[in-house]
Structure 1
Amino acid sequence: MRHPFLIVCILTALCLKSFGQQRDSTIQKRQYTTRSIGESAPPKIDGDLEEGVWDLVEWTGDFIEFTPDTGTSPTEQTLMKILYDDKNLYVAFKCFQEDPKTIERRLGRRDTFPGDWVEINIDSYNDDRTAFSFTASSSSVKSDEFVSNNEEFDSSWNPIWFLGTKIVEDGWTAEIRIPLSQLRFSKAQDQIWGLQATRRYFNNEERSVWQPVDANPPGWVSEFGELQGLIGLIPQKQLEIQPYMLSQLDTYEAQEGNPFRDGSDSRFAGGLDAKIGITNDLTLDLTINPDFGQVDADPGAIALDGFEIFFQERRPFFVENKNVFDFGLGGGPDNLFFSRRIGRTPQGFTTENSALGEYADVPNFTTILGAAKFSGKTANGWSVGLLESVTAKEFAEIRLDNRPEILNGLPLMGTERREIVEPLTNYLVGRVQKDFNDRNSYVGGIFTATNRKLEENLDFLHKDAYSGGLDFRHNWKNRTYYVEGIVAFSKVFGDEEAISQTQRSITHLFQREDASHVSVDTTRTSLSGTGGRFEIGKSGGGNWRYNFGGYWKSPELELNDIGFLRQADDIRQYASLRRVFNQPTSWFRQANFQVELSSAFDFQGNYNRIQYELNGFINFTNNYLIDFGAAHKPRIFTNTFLRGGPRWRYNEENYWYAFLGTDLRKKLSVIAGTVNSQATQNNFSFYNYEFRLNYQPINALSISLSTEYSQSPNRTQYVSEQNFGGQSRYILGAIDQETLSTTLRINYNLNPNLSLQYYGQPFIFKADFSDFNYVVNSTAFDLEERVRWYGDDQIRFNNGIYEIDEDRNGVVDYSFGDPDFAFVQFRSNLVLRWEYIPGSEIFLVWSQGITGNGNVDDSFGAIINDQLLNQKANNTFLIKATYRFNL
């Protein structure tokens, strides 16, 4: 424990020394003065900049290279003009290029940033933290992002704006019209907005900017220049309504006798999305009966540790402006708000009895009756977010086998019934932040509530769940240094069964045998917990970065009703030091190296983990790249491995990784790499190999292929808990674990508004167990003392069951099922998307899916042939049309 303390002390001393040093920056803010077009006719958005209205303002240029050689003159220069009227902002770019034939005009879907492009960022709040970003490619592909927290870009924001581009004899031009209704700004008569423009010069993979920026800026928005001359602008309240209509047909292999699986299903649906500007600063988003049919399926994944797998949110309503509601606790995806809880798979169970010939039809997802999202930022620095959603009461239908010969032999009482599997639920999230101290600091808070109307057999769920917290960040010395922190709480209510189940869940495990600070109390009807994080560091200026901090999650913290929490009862410390090299040399463009240290404890005071890590990244002058790292873990204990049993010790581990990539600009580019891990005494290993290929033979067509293969042998994989002589017996086994997955994406763009996309992913997982053993001393240093292997005369395999005669008296003491399994999955999606007018789309979708079990003894080739190629897939055909009314 002395080593982490020493490193934290050294980093603290470095910070204290740095606090007294001024950031050395002589960069001055640039200003550009625009003007109104008055009575002049607005420009036609076609890329032709010869219209006289553009003569009302001067060009501004003198762009400066930002990467790779910061502060130098770019290879090609860029000019910019800005005009406005009562309804729109107009922007013109002229991008010089000596040989127009070298302009890269690759096509792609919206937000793909292909080829040469130019971008304007507008901080219309002038708060140094948020901005609206509009990017125009030379092929007229539009990309747009909302920037928050000074540097976080969110491409889920999809405003309506207009773009025209044109190739000219000395380069290319871009002409942009941005409706003021898509921006947020104050009512001041004379306004100043933050302004930045960036150009990507594809040939040299070079970025140049209008406002010069340090090589290592402490943020992005805070470094903008100024847009002046905005006089008499009237904020525009946004009002957009987007209804949709949908027709869907599902086909699948009919299941004989199953009344719910006759071979096909169809449905027609409609719904509505709307954006309503309550004020120019604050917007209300509404969705009624939303449909997410064109969303990609989640990638295949299997977890043997018992924890829930985290998947990213993909649904458009929840993705857009999701950063407003983020409240991360540190340590991965743990967050007070996880939007995928809304519309989740029903959590209840049915009384279906297959022995009586009964079949159940359980909904895959909970219906979202409606959702509303109120968000925005006021001129005086208040950021506000409020989300409200109601999900429906869901029922499973249960019916008898519909074959006549079966029906004749079955009782008719209660043959058809409905059973509730998810209650009517209300979700609420409120978020607020306030800037102060000349926008160098903020404080904020969050509150969440989940309220269920429980009935019948759903008492194992929490009736009510609440969480909340406060956060802050303070920057100083021109945002070079920062300190930030959060504190959070949770409170859940339910009957004794619900709270007992929560205490026993893998997130908490209060039943742990060797835990003296927690225990299961079956009389409790509530739990209260806390969490928090604190960090201090240097984020800008010079070539060094560092931070140190820690976070905690108390044993009773529970967030999984509307948030995400993997493990409670956890205390972590961490520190990192990074050296960046942003000035190119004869052999690299950019590079950085970092050392990190982290340690972990629980609330009983157990010292569970320490890890030392080194990683680096180099972008070579030929635009090849290498990403590499290594770590040493001399101490690894976990409270969760035995699922309620005592604390478990893993052997000391070392791992390393390395990935090499070719120039990503080329028509054909490749990234390949490996991750390797090895524990002492061969306790466990991990071998992972990845290959990613991108090919763009023509501007309109791009193909990407990503293949990943991994092996993870482990001599002590958890299998089962059994009773032997009144004692818990924790059974482990050696596992030969293999995973193979491949993801193929093909995108063909007829034009920027019409595209055909294909996504396909086969996923295969095999787990083959052998050499079973049981725990005798879970924290022993030596693996041979930690477990004991069964002898041949103690274990027997009989009809899929392992029978154990531990005391060798000829009587079976306990048994467990064969844990071997193979999982096979294939998901594909073919989507034709046409944005026939800005903001209005038609989708034609064909989805396929196959899910099943393979034979663990088969090769991957045999599994692919038997379980994928020769199986009948489930098909979904969908037509969806939307129309956006701008009122």
Structure 2
Amino acid sequence: MAQEEKEADSTVTYPKRSYTTTTVQGLEPIKIDGSLNDPAWATVEWTSDYVEWEPDNATPPTQQTKMKVVYDDKNLYLAFYCLESNPENIIQRMGRRDDFPGDWIEVNIDSYNDDRTAFSFTTSVSGVKGDEFVSNNGNNWDVSWNPIWYVKTSMVADGWVAELRIPLSQLRFGNDAEQVWGIQSTRRYFSKEERSTWQPIPANPAGWVSSFGELRGLKNLKPQKQLEIQPYALGRYSTYEKENGNPFRDGTDGKFSAGLDAKIGVTNDLTLDLTINPDFGQVEADPGAVSLDGFEIFFQERRPFFVENKNIFNFNYSGGQDNLFFSRRIGRDPQGSAVGPGTAYIDQPNNTTILGAAKFSGKTKNGWTVGVLESVTAKEYADVIAENGQEDEVLVEPLSNYFVGRLQKDFNDRNSYIGGMVTGTHRQMHENVSFLHTQAYSGGLDFKHNWKDRTYYIEGNVVGSHVRGSREAILNTQNSIVHLFQRSDASHVQVDTSRTSLSGTGGRVEFGKGGGGNWRYYAGGNWSSPELELNDIGFLRQADQIQQYARVVRLFNKPTSWYRRMNFALEQSSAFDFEGNYNRMMYEMVGFLNYKNNWWSEFGAAHKPRIYVNSFLRGGPRWRYNEENYFYFFSGTDRRKKASFDLGYVHSEGKQDAFDLRRYVFRARYQPINALSMSLNLEYETNPSKTQYITEKAFNGMPRYILGNIDQETYSATLRLNYNINPNLTIQYYGQPFIFKADYSELNYVNDATAKNLDQRVTWYKNDQIRFEDDTYYIDENRDQNIDYTVSNPDFAFVQFRSNLVARWEYIPGSEIYLVWSQGITGLGDVNNRFSAIVDNQLLRQRPQNTFLIKATYRFIL
């Protein structure tokens, strides 16, 4: 009964707290030195009475915190006094920007007062800064936002102090004579892994920003228009193994370039960001990955210009990775190829040059969210030398223009919004790239409505697309892995070689309970019509599907004698295609448990009684997988400790031993001193399958789909080192070897693609039907002593190593110098070798490509 009463407390709502500030204009300016001795601080009183949020919600915190806020015509000032009865409990670990391994204090400011967005500023006791733009009522935190602000911390006898100065030009607000802003402050008390907040909130609030308290007393503030210009200069030098006879690979390359970024406050609400010839040489490389299913691998955007304010341009219409805008399309690898008859040597660019990009974005005090992005990428040519010595240039990417427009409007006291988005891609077409679309458009409308104090919600969207191009381009789209109009058993789609355009639709609707009490649930569905095509500037993994899903979650928020918090969830989903085929059903259970000693475990299990895949045979008939069961379990030690470890195991298997997956994960983190941290992530995976697709051949005028028994292994190791000399000078290292082995045997062919029994689904070649010579399988299927078709040996081993060593110095706020050393090796190994031999032969004994880079930026604030 006592436990039930405790848990019932999570439904309580708290009255909004209010803090009244005052101007200190005309007084001696506050000096940011962490001392709090300036006379201006005496003009306001401390506010305190922070309340524990996690783990024991609505109880007094272990240590109390105090806050003051004042302002002048140009700045907002905040002071925090973090009390500590035993100073030895204060953990002063260092980290790079936006990384806080020790004690910290944070303030969130909803200067729009829209209950949906906020500006977040965090400082650790060691003086490391973090800043994020918060959107979608706390569901999105954009760590790429890097405003200019100032902080100083200091240790005092009974705790530690943080003093902040935030220029008003870094915030967005209206021009009312007297304003009310939302405000929240959170303290992390590291030694007990405890969070306390100035404004009390439930353990799992329906919304983060909408739960803020109020900051009052803001009078006659003048919106500050932001004007910042940041030029850069860059020198790059690369060394690699020389290729005899290849003039494009003479062993060294050098390059100098320059560019410009600018941020212009058109109004206090709306900002114009510009970039000319941007460079992202300091950005970390993508992790290694191999896809055997034919689908594109999704990689996260890492480039600062596109990451900042990405929430505004987000239109995730399906609930997964599918999106109307995928910024990595801009500046992508050239899509054309210069390979041709008589070609001896090719020098092809790795990326498309972004000539320039502009981004106009922000949110007005009236609740309008606006985003417009425009970018132009250059023509890219590959230099070619023919076997006869003739030199030429071949176009591999046309001049392209990309446009994205986004608009949203809040209403109903900020409990609802409706919005829309449009995108456009235009290419200057030439014969060598006629396989690309000349134009591609997409658009959509979205909405969300919350009610009953944001406890319940309904949201949804609808999208459409239209692409144009040559017959070749549209034929390629119809036959691509995303669409597969050529599927032999599909009656609702068919290839039309005369088409020069395609139009499709998609969308999603979902409703659920997002707050209040200890239960959460939602249910919804989405669809993508067969003709939907977004991949010119968006991301769409697969069209022609209808999905349904539901989830219910039980939260346990109050600590007990053996756990801090835990939750359990049940999920169910199913999928169909537009022909009405019932393709998938899944039932899943997941859970998370945070123990009293701050160790943790997460686990899950699922049953998939029905799995049909339209794309498995790459245009052949629908394929049936055997029933699948899987489970996973991960557990780890207390991550506050100087040394912590995680272990994980994933196990999946199909009936009749049709396929199997086992993944082993080990993660370790170690911070021997406050300034140095390191982490190691090891993963090993085996994924054998009796029926891995290899190729399609013709036999007696009919397609023959060839499969094989694959012994698939993957190994990766990711090492990170961070050394923080001070909060503004850091050295970071990232290194990852990645090895993928695919060893095929026991070739077979599809007999009945939808048979339940694997032995009826495929037929294995007998010894008198197949022989292996000269790296080729020779197949006499009908045993007439004539070779009916051949299959090249599909075995391969992919080897990759990527590393970055970056020294970053923010010598003044907003201005930086980067020193970068990158290494890379990519090649093929011997699938018959062990991992140790592949590492020795293909990594340790190979000469890597080395790139040395120095980049300097300077931010002018005008």
State the match for 2:309 in structure 1.
321
Kept in 2, the 8 Å contact 1:352–1:358? The answer is no
Kept in 1, the 8 Å contact 2:28–2:39? The answer is no
State the match for 1:709 in structure 2.
684
State the match for 1:110 in structure 2.
97
- Deviations, residues 654-690 of structure 1 (Å, cap 9, x unaligned): 0000001100000000111100001000010000000
Tell me the CA shift for residue 399 of structure 1: 1.7
Tell me the CA shift for residue 651 of structure 1: 0.1
Kept in 1, the 8 Å contact 2:10–2:202? The answer is no
Kept in 1, the 8 Å contact 2:237–2:851? The answer is yes
State the match for 1:406 in structure 2.
none
Distance 1:714 1:553 in 2: 29
State the match for 1:372 in structure 2.
358
State the match for 1:362 in structure 2.
348
State the match for 1:822 in structure 2.
797
2:439 to 449, 464, 467: 464
Distance 1:69 1:771 in 2: 58
Tell me the CA shift for residue 22 of structure 1: 14
- Deviations, residues 756-814 of structure 1 (Å, cap 9, x unaligned): 11100000000000010000100000000000000000011121111110000000001
State the match for 1:528 in structure 2.
503
Does residue 388 of the first structure (1) align with residue 374 of the second (2)? yes
The structure-2 alpha-carbon separation of the partners of 1:302 and 1:464, relative to structure 1 and needing over 3 Å to count, comes to same
Distance 2:352 2:513 in 1: 45
Distance 1:879 1:458 in 2: 35
Does residue 157 of the first structure (1) align with residue 145 of the second (2)? yes
Distance 2:340 2:675 in 1: 52
Distance 1:860 1:70 in 2: 49
Unaligned ranges ≥5, structure 2? 1-7
Secondary structure, counterpart of 1:35 in structure 2: coil
Q: How does 1:408-557 map to 2 (within 5 A)?
A: 411=388, 415-557=390-532
Tell me the CA shift for residue 39 of structure 1: 1.1
State the match for 1:404 in structure 2.
none
Does residue 791 of the first structure (1) align with residue 766 of the second (2)? yes
Distance 2:449 2:89 in 1: 46
State the match for 1:303 in structure 2.
291
State the match for 2:192 in structure 1.
204
Secondary structure, counterpart of 2:88 in structure 1: helix
Kept in 1, the 8 Å contact 2:554–2:567? The answer is yes
AA paired with 2:661? F
Q: CA RMSD in A?
A: 1.1
Does residue 234 of the first structure (1) align with residue 222 of the second (2)? yes
Does residue 169 of the first structure (1) align with residue 157 of the second (2)? yes
State the match for 1:597 in structure 2.
572
Secondary structure, counterpart of 1:36 in structure 2: coil
- Identical positions, percent: 66
Kept in 1, the 8 Å contact 2:10–2:203? The answer is no
Distance 2:656 2:317 in 1: 35
AA paired with 1:542? G
Distance 2:203 2:103 in 1: 22
Tell me the CA shift for residue 438 of structure 1: 0.4
State the match for 2:321 in structure 1.
333
Secondary structure, counterpart of 2:85 in structure 1: coil
Secondary structure, counterpart of 1:849 in structure 2: strand
2:585 to 599, 605, 610: 610
Kept in 2, the 8 Å contact 1:285–1:374? The answer is yes
State the match for 2:66 in structure 1.
79
State the match for 1:580 in structure 2.
555
Structure-2-length-normalised TM-score: 0.98
Distance 2:719 2:325 in 1: 31
Kept in 1, the 8 Å contact 2:10–2:518? The answer is no
Distance 2:846 2:13 in 1: 67
State the match for 2:645 in structure 1.
670
State the match for 2:35 in structure 1.
48
Secondary structure, counterpart of 1:826 in structure 2: strand
State the match for 2:595 in structure 1.
620
AA paired with 1:532? G
AA paired with 2:459? E
Tell me the CA shift for residue 24 of structure 1: 5.0
Distance 1:286 1:263 in 2: 36
Distance 1:494 1:665 in 2: 56
Does residue 693 of the first structure (1) align with residue 668 of the second (2)? yes
AA paired with 1:681? Q
Tell me the CA shift for residue 456 of structure 1: 2.1
AA paired with 1:347? Q
Q: How does 1:19-38 map to 2 (within 5 A)?
A: 24-38=11-25
AA paired with 1:119? E
Secondary structure, counterpart of 1:150 in structure 2: helix
State the match for 1:779 in structure 2.
754
Distance 1:265 1:27 in 2: 63
State the match for 2:332 in structure 1.
344
Q: How does 1:289-300 map to 2 (within 5 A)?
A: 289-300=277-288
Secondary structure, counterpart of 2:432 in structure 1: coil
AA paired with 1:96? L
The structure-2 alpha-carbon separation of the partners of 1:792 and 1:204, relative to structure 1 and needing over 3 Å to count, comes to same
Does residue 275 of the first structure (1) align with residue 263 of the second (2)? yes
Kept in 1, the 8 Å contact 2:343–2:384? The answer is no
The structure-2 alpha-carbon separation of the partners of 1:411 and 1:706, relative to structure 1 and needing over 3 Å to count, comes to closer
Distance 2:433 2:39 in 1: 70
Does residue 565 of the first structure (1) align with residue 565 of the second (2)? no
Kept in 1, the 8 Å contact 2:101–2:640? The answer is no
Kept in 2, the 8 Å contact 1:344–1:365? The answer is yes
Distance 2:635 2:826 in 1: 34
Tell me the CA shift for residue 718 of structure 1: 0.1
State the match for 1:9 in structure 2.
none
- Deviations, residues 677-723 of structure 1 (Å, cap 9, x unaligned): 01000010000000010000000000000000000000000001000
Does residue 756 of the first structure (1) align with residue 744 of the second (2)? no
Does residue 725 of the first structure (1) align with residue 700 of the second (2)? yes
Tell me the CA shift for residue 357 of structure 1: 6.2
Does residue 181 of the first structure (1) align with residue 163 of the second (2)? no
2:181 to 193, 213, 217: 193
AA paired with 1:385? G
Does residue 766 of the first structure (1) align with residue 741 of the second (2)? yes
Secondary structure, counterpart of 2:127 in structure 1: coil
Secondary structure, counterpart of 1:506 in structure 2: coil
- Deviations, residues 299-358 of structure 1 (Å, cap 9, x unaligned): 0000000000000001010011111101112252110000000000001121444xx462
Distance 2:735 2:307 in 1: 22
Distance 1:768 1:28 in 2: 64
Unaligned ranges ≥5, structure 1? 1-20, 401-409
Distance 1:141 1:349 in 2: 47
Tell me the CA shift for residue 867 of structure 1: 0.4
Tell me the CA shift for residue 140 of structure 1: 0.3
Distance 1:192 1:219 in 2: 19
The structure-2 alpha-carbon separation of the partners of 1:24 and 1:821, relative to structure 1 and needing over 3 Å to count, comes to closer
Structure-1-length-normalised TM-score: 0.96
Secondary structure, counterpart of 2:306 in structure 1: helix
State the match for 2:239 in structure 1.
251
Say how many residue pairs are matched.
854
Kept in 2, the 8 Å contact 1:352–1:359? The answer is no
Tell me the CA shift for residue 581 of structure 1: 0.6
Secondary structure, counterpart of 2:137 in structure 1: coil
AA paired with 1:804? I
Kept in 2, the 8 Å contact 1:145–1:157? The answer is yes
Distance 1:43 1:469 in 2: 49
Secondary structure, counterpart of 1:540 in structure 2: coil
Distance 1:357 1:347 in 2: 18
AA paired with 1:301? A
State the match for 2:131 in structure 1.
144
Tell me the CA shift for residue 23 of structure 1: 10
Kept in 2, the 8 Å contact 1:23–1:478? The answer is no
